[in-house]
Structure 1
């Protein structure tokens, strides 16, 4: 790169804005030696077959370079375009529940090895591993485990694997080009309601318009709104692991709602 601008740090890696020798603007993450960058690149390329994502210019064990995304203010029209695009992404499908690359959410590893059905995948590859890392009181652990035992009962109608972003909170949705560009995926074959629930967890501009357009393109199964807490268990456990007890109350409220389904 012929010039760089430091953008600070996140999850242990440095963030930079740069200009390549050919004049292209790029975004770079550097400073970590792990599989996290190559995993992210694999997920971006896979999602990019069906929805707008940054171009992967370089990916290695200690560096990820992506095309720069010029952001704009969100709008109703952009939200509706994004909702339709997200439905098409999900509908493009996946070979199974999981992915052929190692999983990460932030810097935390996730097991992407396949499972035969989504409730088993969600329990064994997402919720229970993070429950073991969360250092919760024994009574909380027991409550989460009771919720896990109900996954097959409360997950709704079985669906084939969807191609999902996997960490679709508002910070990973960049408004650009009259729609949205998705970044920082934890991409895998999963349940499409996981992405819908994640957008609701921390809020997204014009979420009602995103979901309205999504439903027009590919309506979720009946009862999906009641299942939102089920799909929020994993991201809330991730936040407990990363940030501690401040997310415990939100997690346990989601657990109570799952147990009440």
Structure 2
């Protein structure tokens, strides 16, 4: 029997959203996607029983397998830009969690990734940060210039090779702490062919480079190996390295909104590069 990690939420919709998101990501495993932690039970509205995964230092082989399998998770796709997972609760609000990150209904779906990222990732956070006194008018204007360039298509780029033309199926919060490396001898469904196991997802339809950029923001172990394996499995578009900080604007603005402090300067430095 799998060991259990009990996770408690303040809002029952958050528990439902997490369970739905993990299940949506897990669908991609059938086509080679990265292993996702299982929801073992949902015994109370605010409680999930999740599979307990041990976590160690990754080997080179694990990092390679993770890079390749993540490419297949992204390739599973999404219905539209900003689409939440099927089963996402409260379709009217389309926000969830402490960050109140915005998702997008099919009726409001933007036509391009640039429009999505500009409106639902940059402007949405910046407006709330300004309201909370975190950015002044001149600082907000830097982000608005980036948003306008995104809407104009200046930073548009093809998805990785396996994804095709539409949105990728993103984990959505793919920092190093949400990538677990099962330790030798721990059975995870008997094996860990995908190298890593994903937890704490915030999945939606987006650009695959956003997940990859977040992997690099907080120091994923063996990142270069992961990215090289990903690129070999699903070739990245030319110039992807020059867009890393652009895609990092979303998590940086999230951290400004939640924590302020040094994240404010980091977000502004990244934005000025693309303004």
TM-score (norm 2): 0.81
**How much does 1:31 deviate?**
4.5
Q: Please, which moves more after superposition, 143-152 or 100-109?
A: 100-109
Residue 141 to residue 184, structure 1, CA distance change in 2 (3 Å):
same
Q: Please, which moves more after superposition, 207-216 or 114-123?
A: 114-123
Task: Indicate yes or no: 2:46 matched with 1:62.
Answer: yes
Q: Please, which moves more after superposition, 192-201 or 122-131?
A: 122-131
**Which structure carries more relative contact order (alpha carbon 8 Å, separation 6+)?**
2
Verify the 8 A CA contact 1:167 1:185 in the aligned structure 2. yes
For structure 1, the residue ranges without an aligned partner over 5 or more in a row are: 1-22
Within the candidate set 76, 84, 90, 2:74 is matched to: 90
Aligned to 2:173: 167
Verify the 8 A CA contact 2:37 2:51 in the aligned structure 1. yes
For structure 2, the residue ranges without an aligned partner over 5 or more in a row are: 29-33, 160-164, 183-191
Extract structure 1 runs of 4+ deviating beyond 3 A.
102-106
1:107-158 per-residue CA deviation (whole Å, 9 max, x = no partner) reads 2222211322211111222221111122212111010101111112112237
Verify the 8 A CA contact 2:175 2:215 in the aligned structure 1. yes
Within the candidate set 223, 240, 258, 1:207 is matched to: 223
Aligned to 1:139: 138
Verify the 8 A CA contact 1:105 1:167 in the aligned structure 2. no
**How much does 1:61 deviate?**
3.7
Task: Indicate yes or no: 2:50 matched with 1:49.
Answer: no
1:88-117 per-residue CA deviation (whole Å, 9 max, x = no partner) reads 111121121122526667522222113222
Verify the 8 A CA contact 2:96 2:102 in the aligned structure 1. no
Q: For 1:121-200, what aligned pairs fall within 5 Å after superposition?
A: 121-134=116-129, 135-151=134-150, 152-157=153-158, 159-176=165-182, 177=192, 179-200=195-216
1:225-251 per-residue CA deviation (whole Å, 9 max, x = no partner) reads 111111111100000011113211110
Write the distance in 1 (CA, Å) between the matches of 2:36 and 2:158.
Answer: 30
Q: For 1:224-235, what aligned pairs fall within 5 Å after superposition?
A: 224-235=240-251
Aligned to 1:74: 58
Task: Indicate yes or no: 2:257 matched with 1:241.
Answer: yes
TM-score (norm 1): 0.85
Q: For 1:210-225, what aligned pairs fall within 5 Å after superposition?
A: 210-225=226-241
Residue 42 to residue 137, structure 1, CA distance change in 2 (3 Å):
same
Matched positions, count = 237
Write the distance in 1 (CA, Å) between the matches of 2:255 and 2:13.
Answer: 21
Secondary structure, counterpart of 1:186 in structure 2: coil
Verify the 8 A CA contact 1:227 1:258 in the aligned structure 2. no
Secondary structure, counterpart of 1:204 in structure 2: coil
